[in-house]
Structure 1
Amino acid sequence: MTQNQYTIGVDFGTDSVRALIVNTSTGEIAGTAVHSYDRWKKGLYCHPASSQFRQHPLDYLEGLEGCIRAALETCPDTVRTSIVGISVDTTGSTPGAVDKNGTPLALLPEFAENPNGMFILWKDHTANAEADEINALAHSWEIDFTKFVGGIYSSEWFWAKILHTLRVDESIREKAFSWVEHCDWISAVLTGNTNPLTMKRSRCAAGHKAMWNETFDGLPSDEFLTTLDPLLHGLRNRLYRETYTSDEGMGTLSSEWAQKLGLSTSVVVGVGAFDAHMGAVGAEIEPYTFVRVMGTSTCDMLMAPNEEIGHLLIKGICGQVDGSIVPGMLGTEAGQSAYGDYYAWFQRLITEPVRQLLGQEAAELLAEKLIPYLSEKAAALPVTENDPVALDWINGRRTPDANHGLKAALMGLNLGTDAVLIFKTLVEATAFGSRAIVDRFLSEGVPIKRVIAIGGVAKKSPFVMQTLSDVLNMPIQVTSSDQACALGAAMNAAVAAGAHASLPEAQKAMGSGFDASYEPRPEVVEIYKKLYVKYQALGAFVEL
């Protein structure tokens, strides 16, 4: 293998996009930069009360160019000229409507301010009713197209969002030729070929969110989709049949983007994927490793050989897809719709009155110090069987058994309950939600041999991580890299560009290792088992 080759991993998160330039031989980080989405930061095109969350494609394009250029500026020219590949991960399912050229409708003048012409972010839950309809029809159809996605289709996913948008916006209905996932479109942009009929579509995105499977001959049948709603008639033929794993190349860098970035047109652009799946690669996932991507929400990744678990239909998760994480392995996904977002909600609950009464500066100072203060004080509290208990469904429940109509709840409060105790209770609720996911895998016959955590929460909050270890009663390792998703993208780019023969080889050469670990504390494990029973009872009551 040629020495001193580099790849760029680009990680599109909920709030920002980052680029990471990595030496394919050593894993050394040569440069990095982050670009926040300007329009998103201003709260444009979103309406949290109705669970509408949209992102303008200009935020993506500006962020893509901005973060890569900024990262390259920190590198010597020898690095720039040695870059052989770029791969991208994004949130998902985050689909958008495009015209025949693959141009997102929001980039056309007449749709520039129309949220329905933008990308529909993963946490948008405006399509709850459509998800219910998909489930009802799928469960009565001769083929249950939800059987490889846990048996329950979510409003966070591709078809539900498309159907909702087509129903509510006639102008989009008339102009939309096809639909693309963010990870497919932004990768295609780099190659210059955004034709929705020929761009390579992500196996990861298609299998986990669009009910694509080889046994279905691709996507759900046109008969099924038309029965669901005639508005979907013919759309299947304007989407895709084939899908591709992320160790494959999508194409090479177009002249336009090579000039923008100052790179060669020989740079290979890899097939895109979702952030959690590439993050699992960056975390050096192995068979039966449970990788938790912990940020605003969580995604939980687990993979195993097809011949060992491929016969299972794992109920209530977010899909099982051959090659969605590493080719040759069955990739499975689960997760929670709110994790860090739950803590952020509590922070806003406290700081917003301060903003209104004492001004912006006082509120920002409080916001900066609040979560670290609450974490420190909560960590010092005892864990008792009489503690309050909360549900983590502040943004619905992703897994097990998706239901985004559910709400959070708190029980056991009294006049002595203060902010620190409530914060501790919310952290425990997110840990209990995590345990429910682990329990589902175990009950479905999938063992978990190791737990790895990545993401902002894992890196920044020892209190959250210790609580999680206690509740799961399992050791947890935290990756050294604070950019594991971008690192995983860089690893995929290295394979797509031929710098490594396989993802396991790239992981071995480019992995960052681990810099923290948490062990369950025996003195609280038994107490948390009893509190978890109360969590389950509260959940059953709320779900009645």
Structure 2
Amino acid sequence: MATYALGLDFGSDSVRSLLVDTQSGQEIATHVVNYPRWEKGMYCQPARSQFRQHPLDYLESTVEVIQSLWPKAPSDAASNIIGLSIDTTGSTPIAIDETGQALALKPEFAENPNAMFILWKDHTGIGEAAELTKAAKDSATNYIQYEGGIYSSEWYWAKALHAMRQDAEVAKNVYMWVEHCDWLPAILTGTQKPSDLRLGRCAAGHKMMWHESWGGFPPNDFFTSVDPVLNGLVERLPLETFPSDQSVGGLTNEWADKLGLPAGIPIGFGAFDCHMGAVAAAVKPGVLTKVMGTSTCDITVASAEQIGDKCVPGICGQVDGSVLPGMVGLEAGQSAFGDLYAWYKRLVNGPANQIIQNNAFLSDEQKNALLAEVDEQTLIHLSEKAALLSPGQSGVVAVDWVNGRRTPDADQSLSCAIAGMKMGTDAAAIFRALVEASAYGAKAIIDRFKQEKIEINSVVAIGGISKKSDLVMQICADIWNCPIEVLESDQSCALGAAIFAAKIGGAFPDIASAQAVMASKVCKTYQPIQTNAELYRQLYEEYLSLGAYVEENK
């Protein structure tokens, strides 16, 4: 009899479900659901870098995305699912009260963005992140030494502090802040009450300053030294954390009925999307797994012996067991990758879209069809024209920090820059320069790992961009001067979650055994073109010079 594992991948815009046969590793069915409120732009103010998501988007979409699997799956699939695990974007925390209720699910906070999930890309806490960084460096123990040495506005404590400073009612009513990847497993298992809550290793270690060497989290007086509004929050967090190959608990009867699943099936500890995606890519020492989506997340692993007492500066943390049990997971990434291209597309299309929308002779149906056509064709057209240019031909160089810099050396106050434009510069030349900039930003990450003696010999790419754009992938291979393997699975992060679900459900004794059957195969490999690689080695210096200018004049 076939058994199945279920993985859920909560991305920035949508949630993906994936059903996998644990015996063959075959992906049986998948479905995608866009978050309805997020899709309308609700609760977000991009000009202020404010990006919030309502918990109902997650709860409602969970039901829809799982229930939508059953018409696509074998008739007995739902009854033979042995485990469910999830991954999410991060850091994406939310305020809960002393009963475990998310504040935004209470009537008085239902429309309050400060009571909602603060999405990873929300950078409203830049000032708070700087204060936390200074406090850690001034402390007798540097509590961010294992998180790259710089605390980011994309992370848990900066977000919590900013929201509480901005909103006295949230500060008054919050009992604890919980990451999305911990919150949803707690909801599904009925363990969301703070006294019952258990935390996954991934979010706690990479974003919340948790580490074994100081017994869990920094003491309360460290946080109150930054701002008394944080008083007591850390003391309510459980000190023990768990890797994702363990189970939070069993699915409750209530949620089993909602999802059409057997009650009691084990729910795994959640982790961030890039970490579980790396597991689907069979990550190992010397291989960098790059999740290429709206942003990028870069994951590799190393043995404890290889890391020793080294603290790699400027990355998003190194945490024992955050990716694979028994290995130290190292995370880096870029705050904008696909988002950089999407920004440029909106810029280029803006006037045409406005003309279409204002055309009184077109019906709404005609307008929507034209807008969709323009949106679909723009990047295709730009890519085709950009592919005809050789490295350096246009003279245009760009820096990719349109949403700040995540790594190396987090600084979300930095901005994008484009130089070298002349009267003959066209849209495709600028687009190619932006693609090159995003690849240069990734090269800076790879170089940082290598400088710190973390071996990187090849890259495995997952995520939408890796399957959609030959131009982007070939430029990356040329600039990084290393081969890039692209995975076959379109849902690699959800597949990683399914691998963990298969293990906690008892189909495999450990993650390595599950990977041997379920990990994704490679569908395409990009090799660097050596003449281009040599040109880009020289052009990279221009990127570094422009980046240095931006930093000096921010």
TM-score by length of 1: 0.98
Distance 1:220 1:385, change over 3 A: farther
3-state secondary structure, aligned to 1:92? coil
Measure, in 1, the Cα distance between the counterparts of 2:266 and 2:308.
Answer: 32
1:205 corresponds to which letter in structure 2?
A
Deviation of the 1:121 alpha carbon: 0.1
1:537 to 535, 541, 545: 545
Measure, in 1, the Cα distance between the counterparts of 2:436 and 2:460.
Answer: 19
Match of 1:64 in 2: 62
Measure, in 2, the Cα distance between the counterparts of 1:294 and 1:459.
Answer: 10
Contact 1:352 1:363 in 2 (8 A): no
Instruction: Answer yes or no: is 1:428 the counterpart of 2:426.
Output: no
Name which of structure 1's ranges 186-195 and 476-485 shifts more when overlaid on structure 2.
Answer: 186-195
Match of 2:18 in 1: 20
Measured on the aligned residues, the alpha-carbon RMSD in Å equals 1.0
1:291 to 264, 289, 292: 289
3-state secondary structure, aligned to 1:71? coil
Match of 2:494 in 1: 486
Deviation of the 1:386 alpha carbon: 6.1
Contact 1:385 1:530 in 2 (8 A): no
Name which of structure 1's ranges 195-204 and 292-301 shifts more when overlaid on structure 2.
Answer: 195-204
Deviations 1:243-268 (A, max 9, x none): 10000000011000111122211311
2:496 corresponds to which letter in structure 1?
G
Name which of structure 1's ranges 217-226 and 188-197 shifts more when overlaid on structure 2.
Answer: 188-197
Matches of residues 333-352 of structure 1 in structure 2 within 5 Å? Answer: 333-352=331-350
Deviation of the 1:339 alpha carbon: 0.2
Match of 1:94 in 2: 92
Name which of structure 1's ranges 25-34 and 210-219 shifts more when overlaid on structure 2.
Answer: 25-34
Matches of residues 122-133 of structure 1 in structure 2 within 5 Å? Answer: 122-133=120-131
Matches of residues 459-470 of structure 1 in structure 2 within 5 Å? Answer: 459-470=467-478
Deviation of the 1:385 alpha carbon: 6.4
Deviation of the 1:384 alpha carbon: 2.7
TM-score by length of 2: 0.97
Instruction: Answer yes or no: is 1:477 the counterpart of 2:485.
Output: yes
Contact 1:351 1:363 in 2 (8 A): no
Match of 2:509 in 1: 501
Measure, in 2, the Cα distance between the counterparts of 1:450 and 1:309.
Answer: 19
Deviation of the 1:8 alpha carbon: 0.3
Match of 2:102 in 1: 104
Matches of residues 331-370 of structure 1 in structure 2 within 5 Å? Answer: 331-359=329-357, 360-361=367-368, 362-370=370-378
Name which of structure 1's ranges 338-347 and 489-498 shifts more when overlaid on structure 2.
Answer: 489-498
Matches of residues 511-530 of structure 1 in structure 2 within 5 Å? Answer: 511-530=519-538
Measure, in 2, the Cα distance between the counterparts of 1:397 and 1:23.
Answer: 39
Measure, in 1, the Cα distance between the counterparts of 2:383 and 2:219.
Answer: 50
Measure, in 2, the Cα distance between the counterparts of 1:12 and 1:530.
Answer: 39
Deviation of the 1:216 alpha carbon: 1.4
Match of 2:395 in 1: 387
Deviation of the 1:310 alpha carbon: 3.4
2:141 to 126, 140, 143: 143
Deviations 1:206-260 (A, max 9, x none): 0000010001111111110111111111111112211100000000110001111
Instruction: Answer yes or no: is 1:440 the counterpart of 2:442.
Output: no
Contact 1:320 1:330 in 2 (8 A): yes
Matches of residues 105-504 of structure 1 in structure 2 within 5 Å? Answer: 105-359=103-357, 360-361=367-368, 362-384=370-392, 387-504=395-512
3-state secondary structure, aligned to 1:73? coil
Measure, in 2, the Cα distance between the counterparts of 1:73 and 1:364.
Answer: 29
2:120 corresponds to which letter in structure 1?
W
Deviation of the 1:72 alpha carbon: 2.1
Contact 1:385 1:527 in 2 (8 A): no
Contact 2:457 2:482 in 1 (8 A): no
Deviation of the 1:327 alpha carbon: 0.5
Distance 1:204 1:252, change over 3 A: same
Name which of structure 1's ranges 37-46 and 255-264 shifts more when overlaid on structure 2.
Answer: 255-264
Deviations 1:452-481 (A, max 9, x none): 000001111111000000000000000000
Please, which runs of 5 or more residues in structure 2 have no aligned partner?
358-366
1:24 corresponds to which letter in structure 2?
T
3-state secondary structure, aligned to 2:313? coil
Measure, in 1, the Cα distance between the counterparts of 2:131 and 2:413.
Answer: 14
1:478 corresponds to which letter in structure 2?
V
Measure, in 1, the Cα distance between the counterparts of 2:195 and 2:305.
Answer: 33
Q: Percent identity?
A: 51
3-state secondary structure, aligned to 2:330? strand
Measure, in 2, the Cα distance between the counterparts of 1:309 and 1:485.
Answer: 26
Match of 1:5 in 2: 3
